[in-house]
A and B are shown apart, each in its own frame.
Chain A
Amino acid sequence: MSKQFQFKLVLLGESAVGKSSLVLRFVKDQFDDYRESTIGAAFLTQTVTLDDQTTVKFEIWDTAGQERYKSLAPMYYRNANCAVVVYDITQSASLEKARSWVRELQRQADPSIVIALCGNKTDLNARRQVSQEEAKKYADEEGLMWGETSAKTGEGVSDIFTAIAKKLPLTAPPSRPGANRASASGTQAGVDLNRNPVSTEQTDGCNC
């Protein structure tokens, strides 16, 4: 029997590291050269198929990186199952910001949250300021998943989301402090087509 899991994913990171572009590539496989900065938090969904039986639906909250929207972020990571903290490999300052996001998540978010560190813009490898070793080392220290992506070329984007989906606790229903819905668990409420109708005897026969 096929199972669908639903997880809430939140994207965090400094502004202009490419969070929205990453999501756009993941959800619609598109890329905008000129993208306006996000206002508040955008909402998108995407389903990942792990194997024939298991699909994972991500409810993605793409938060704005600008400082003035910082107060919104807690509302979205508070009951998230996973978080993707994005940094820009051409800006070492963005990794610092990512570190502070990770610290905040470890302090404030759900303890079971899966955090992935994601270095974006690998297409600009020539201007790299953050080495892979440095980021990898930090991720290992903190026990984070790590990957490098390029939203522009699409490299590594689906890999990192699939990796997250695999790491999520697929056996137990995901802990969702904010919402307790049937669709979040593996046993999804719905219509079972194989079930034999009980009232067959009553339905036949005319009304007179």
Chain B
Amino acid sequence: MSSRSTSASTAASTTTTPVSSIPRTITPVSGASAGFYRPGFQPKGVYRPRTDEFAEARKSKRSAGKIEQTRLERRLEKLINLHFSEPSEKSKTLQPPPARQRRSSLFDLDFSELRGKSASELWKDVINSQAQNGKNDIRAAEQRITPWEGDSAVSQCPICLVSFHPITNRKHHCRLCGRIICSLPVRHPQRPVTCSLLFVANTKTGVIEEVGEGIDYGVRRRTTSTMGPGKGIPPPGDDDKFLSGVRICRECRSVLLRQQHIQEAHSTPMFAKLYTLLISIEKEVEDLLPQFQELLLSLNNDERPTAGASAARKRLVEAFAHYDAAAKRIRNLPCVRGSSQDRVQMAILARANLFLQKNMFPLQSLPKPARRTNSGSSTPSTPTLALNETTIDPDSELAHALQPLLEQEALLETFVQEATTKRKFENAQTLRENLKEIRGEIDRIVANAEREQAHGKGKGRT
């Protein structure tokens, strides 16, 4: 078999490239190199650029595909407008009952609903459903957007090849391409994925979501979106509202996904927004701190702090509070435990804490000739300063004694981490011992101060 094919191909090559035809194919190439052709001697080979031909062929194919693509996209846009526009616009046509696109028979009625109603109400419903031929407007509108395939032309689903049945397997139209498809659930091996799916779009944001198959055409809006985590939580009021899903076929899903992708590219997730906020606050603090320190240096001579210095301090403290709040919000964003998102959020919080430790603690102890009231008003507003219950006067001896120790503690923590990551465990051990010593010293000083304070109070009372 193989030998036959090779012999056939060699025969074909010999017949299609006869010696006499070669010069004719070369001549259009270039005037300069189009020398005399001598069979058997081709120092540079035959060069024939076919890029243009290829580009042209590709263009014709691609433009056809592109036109189809844009057509489907435009249809999708129109469909979303039709079904998911603001309630005020569509109230006159389809607001009152939960929108059902097709009530062609009794099979679509919700039987649980039926049971709870009296006979007269039921009858009214039937009358209504007949009277509501106005609802067929939607179908008409849908068919104006997309020409639907005729029911009689199709006897089986084009994707999974299951034949339709008026009761068990009804025909459905893809609202994008107009084909008839089935809505049967997944069944191996004929149907590894469903042939059609439903989607809804948020009326306000226009965010497209795929939704599961419901009993009815109306689909309960799900809180967790199927596509991509981290999307905003829908407003709580919307949860219970019935939205009608729009059916499209499996093959038109790419259009939908494309649209979703474009939307997601345009909207930045909450996480990213918060992170940029965090970084901007960090920048602000880094800009403010040197200014503040310069102010302080100039203050050392005269005893009373100027309004400028206390304002700068206040601004810094506020920035720290905002920074801390932003970091905590990032940490508290919903995400899967142990996922990479979770780890990123943890890391951001750790980094934020380090930043605060580095910049906020020195802020407190700077030699500020502040009155008691000033420091009292500013220190409690700093968020994570819970060294001990009593607020520490930044001017006091205690603060001066404690400050270097706290700084060293923070420093040692980073050293330990660094040594551990570099697998220098002996160093880490030494550092950890030192850290323990430092912490002991801090505890000792704080305890001493508290004892002194209690003692002083006792003395004052007697």
The reply to whether chain A is a binding partner of chain B is yes
Return the CB mask of B413-425 against A: 1 if under 8 Å, else 0.
0010000000010
Residue A39 is within 8 A (CB to CB) of chain B in the complex: yes
Q: For this complex, into which size category does the number of interface residues on chain B fall?
A: 20 to 34
Q: Are B441 and A39 in contact (CB under 8 A)?
A: no
List residues of chain A with CB within 8 A of the CB of B434.
Answer: 43, 75
Do residues A40 and B407 form an inter-chain contact, with CB atoms below 8 A? yes
Q: Are B407 and A39 in contact (CB under 8 A)?
A: yes
B403 proximal to A (CB < 8 A): yes
* Closest CB in chain A relative to B297 CB, distance in Å: 14
Q: How far apart sit A43 and B427, CA to CA, in the bound complex (Å)?
A: 9
Q: What 1/0 flags go to A162-182 for Cβ under 8 Å of B? A: 000000000000000011000
User: Contacts A39-B411, A178-B433, A178-B437 hold; do A72 and B427 have CB atoms under 8 A apart?
Assistant: no
Q: How many contacts A-B (CB < 8 Å)?
A: 40
* B408, A72: Cβ atoms closer than 8 Å: yes
CB-CB nearest in chain A for B410 = A40
Instruction: Name the residue of chain A whose CB is nearest to the CB of B419.
Output: A43
Closest to B418 in A: A43
If A43-B415, A75-B437, A75-B441 touch, does A59 touch B404 (CB 8 Å cutoff)?
no
Q: Residue on A with the closest CB to B438? A: A75
Q: Is the CB of A68 within 8 A of B404?
A: yes
Q: Which one of B403, B412, B424, B431 lies within 8 Å of A68 (CB-CB)?
A: B403
Which positions 32-71 of chain A face chain B at CB distance < 8 Å? 39-43, 45, 59, 68-69, 71
Chain A proximity of B278: nearest CB distance (Å): 24
Q: How far is the CA of A68 from the CA of B406 in the complex (A)?
A: 12
Asked whether B288 is an interface residue with its Cβ less than 8 Å from the other chain, the reply is no
Contact A72 B405, beta carbon cutoff 8 Å: yes
Given A71-B401, A75-B441, A183-B426, does the pair A43, B431 have CB atoms closer than 8 Å? Answer: yes
A contact residues around B408 at 8 Å (CB): 40-41, 72
Question: Closest approach, in angstroms, between the C-beta of A182 and any C-beta of chain B?
Answer: 12
Q: Which residues of B contact A69 (CB under 8 A)?
A: 404
Task: Verify B426–A72 contact, CB threshold 8 A.
Answer: no
A-B complex: 4 closest residue pairs judged by Cβ atoms: A40-B408, A69-B404, A40-B411, A72-B404
Binding site for A on B (CB under 8 A): 400-401, 403-405, 407-408, 411-412, 415, 424, 426-427, 430-431, 433-434, 437-438, 441
Q: List 11 A-B contacts (CB under 8 A).
A: A40-B404, A40-B408, A41-B411, A43-B427, A45-B427, A59-B427, A68-B403, A68-B404, A179-B430, A179-B433, A183-B426
| New A-B contacts (7) at CB < 8 Å, excluding given A59-B427, A179-B433 | A39-B411, A40-B407, A40-B412, A42-B411, A45-B427, A59-B430, A71-B405
